[in-house]
Structure 1
Amino acid sequence: MSTFPKLFVTDLDGTALGGGYRPYSRIPDRFAAFLDRLAERGCGWATCTTWELSAQLNLLYASPVKTPPSYVIGGSGLYLAVWRDGELVKLQPYTGTMEARLAEVVRAELHPLMRDVASRFDPVLTGFNGYWYSMTVQDVDVERMLDYIGEQAARYEGLRIERLAEEKRFYAHPAFLRKGTPVKELLRLTGLTPAELVVAGDELMDLSMMEPDVAIHAVSPVNAHPEVRARVERMGGFVGEAPCSDGVIEAFRRLADAQGWGVI
């Protein structure tokens, strides 16, 4: 038997959000009630997502959860913020250090990559939020684009570049942006141990939150990537049979039962 966790950290897309609930940019009622029950047991909650802070602030205002988040993480680890008087305030020096590091990687590697591929391929769709770049190309160019990006990846050691053949696109972002980094910073700030955290995620980006020096306990919904489900199970966690937030709630309850935490 272990002690009840002190902090629950959840991804948004495909984890807390999704599963057919509408509107999408609102925490579902059932998941909001779950977060409030955790708070009643002394367990705070935090987000850790690719979303910008402004979008998360709107999400919080639109959602029925009564307990404000202990922390809000955005930009895949770029921003670490707290809720103060209805606003999200970036924590320093963490966020300032990350933003300075980002500026250098974008200048030295990401912008050159963007200029290069834009000169070679006609895009169907592009996206760039300042640090995350994505390009979708025409059918006739998919194979050539994927081959070229694969060849160029070694040139950009500071970037993580992923090729998605089925989606006819690739994306690139600074490799140092990892969700586990701000969660480790939370451990330092709060004095919590990995055994006092439970993390929830569904995508490969969430794996860095599930490393042993970050969190001991993890859960995921059924729609999670196979590597995420396998990691959760190796950690002794559980994969819910339902998608998204419903699966997370189910998995957490199974974890609570296995750990002797009582009914949630």
Structure 2
Amino acid sequence: MSARKPTFILSFDFDGTLVHPESTPIFHPMLGQMIQQLRTQGAAWVINTGRSLPQTLQGLAQYGIFMEPDYIIAMECDIHKPGLFSKWTDFGPWNKQARKAHERFVKEHRASLDAIRHMVESQTQAQFLAGEYGELGIVGSSEEELDAICAYIDTHATQFPDIGYHRNGIYLRFSHSGYSKGTALSELARLLGLTANHCFAAGDNLNDLSMLNPLHARMIATPGNGLPAVKQHVQNHGGFVATRYASEGMIEALSHFFGGQKA
């Protein structure tokens, strides 16, 4: 576990950043050792992911990562901390605020969301998904198709800035624009008495861009398998672009920012 009062944060996306199923190993044990060493020096280890909390815990077990994170930011927004007997609980009021904001977002922007749904169902081969708990999303038939859909969504967002979304490949989930991996990271930092100056963030996909932002983390990185747009973004903001994939790239990134052994 990290020090009782963390002095800095290590925030990692999970799929494609910490783990890469097509790599050998999927998760390099040296990265685990580096994270543990940095925890002894005051780091709080955070997994910041689009996965749900149960999916994140399942992924850790599936890939043999038997270190418990200090915090998990799940669904690109919800902040959780370990509770008694390893039960994970909300950390602060943020999650409740996010849920209420999403409910207002869906209610207040129904006309725009209906127009977007009509466009998707009438002009594309994509699927518009609506869950029983108010979740709304789109699955594109290709990334190019979703590019065009996102461009259409963005025309609505110029008029209604609350309209936001998280995108990963051909998958998109709508959200209130004020709640993202980036804003959740800043809220976690605030709760810990820290600032963006004390935050390291790493990710490989489009839904990571919100936390790969100096407003939320002054130390940013992407692995060698990061999307070209993510690599360009990180370079433009003075971050570190690794040459190796996923966990091996994160070994490079931690070595760059914090020193220590290189692979």
Question: Residues 15 and 148 of structure 1: is their aligned pair in 2 closer, same or farther, counting only changes over 3 Å?
Answer: closer
Which segment drifts farther, 110-119 or 54-63?
110-119
Q: How many Å separate the matches in 2 of 1:218 and 1:10?
A: 10
User: Is the Cα contact below 8 Å between 2:166 and 2:207 reproduced in 1?
Assistant: no
Q: 1:217-237 CA deviation, whole Å, 9 max, x = no partner? A: 112111223343234335543
Q: How many Å separate the matches in 1 of 2:12 and 2:48?
A: 6
Letter of the 1:104 partner, please give it: R
Q: Which residue of 1 aligns with 2:3?
A: none
Q: Which residue of 2 aligns with 1:36?
A: 36
Matches within 5 A, 1:53-68: 53-68=53-68
Corresponding position: 1:83 with 2:85: no
Secondary structure in 2 matching 1:8: strand
Corresponding position: 1:251 with 2:250: no
Corresponding position: 1:219 with 2:218: no
Secondary structure in 2 matching 1:76: coil
- 1:126 is displaced (CA, Å) by 5.0
Match of 1:196 among 182, 198, 206: 198
Q: Which residue of 1 aligns with 2:178?
A: 176
Secondary structure in 1 matching 2:80: strand
Question: Residues 126 and 263 of structure 1: is their aligned pair in 2 closer, same or farther, counting only changes over 3 Å?
Answer: same
Q: 1:49-78 CA deviation, whole Å, 9 max, x = no partner? A: 11111211222344544442111101212x
Q: How many Å separate the matches in 2 of 1:148 and 1:213?
A: 27
- 1:38 is displaced (CA, Å) by 2.6
User: Is the Cα contact below 8 Å between 2:120 and 2:127 reproduced in 1?
Assistant: no
Q: Which residue of 2 aligns with 1:160?
A: 164
Corresponding position: 1:133 with 2:137: yes
User: Is the Cα contact below 8 Å between 1:21 and 1:28 reproduced in 2?
Assistant: no
Match of 1:10 among 9, 12, 25: 12
Unaligned runs of 5+ in 1: none
Q: Which residue of 2 aligns with 1:101?
A: 101
User: Is the Cα contact below 8 Å between 1:57 and 1:88 reproduced in 2?
Assistant: no
Which segment drifts farther, 98-107 or 5-14?
5-14
Task: Give the aligned length.
Answer: 250
Corresponding position: 1:50 with 2:50: yes
Question: Residues 17 and 97 of structure 1: is their aligned pair in 2 closer, same or farther, counting only changes over 3 Å?
Answer: same
Structure with greater Cα Rg: 1
- 1:23 is displaced (CA, Å) by 10
Q: How many Å separate the matches in 1 of 2:125 and 2:66?
A: 44
TM-score, normalization: structure 1?
0.75
Q: How many Å separate the matches in 1 of 2:34 and 2:151?
A: 46
Q: How many Å separate the matches in 1 of 2:139 and 2:54?
A: 24
User: Is the Cα contact below 8 Å between 2:14 and 2:48 reproduced in 1?
Assistant: yes
Secondary structure in 2 matching 1:20: coil
TM-score, normalization: structure 2?
0.75
Question: Residues 30 and 21 of structure 1: is their aligned pair in 2 closer, same or farther, counting only changes over 3 Å?
Answer: farther
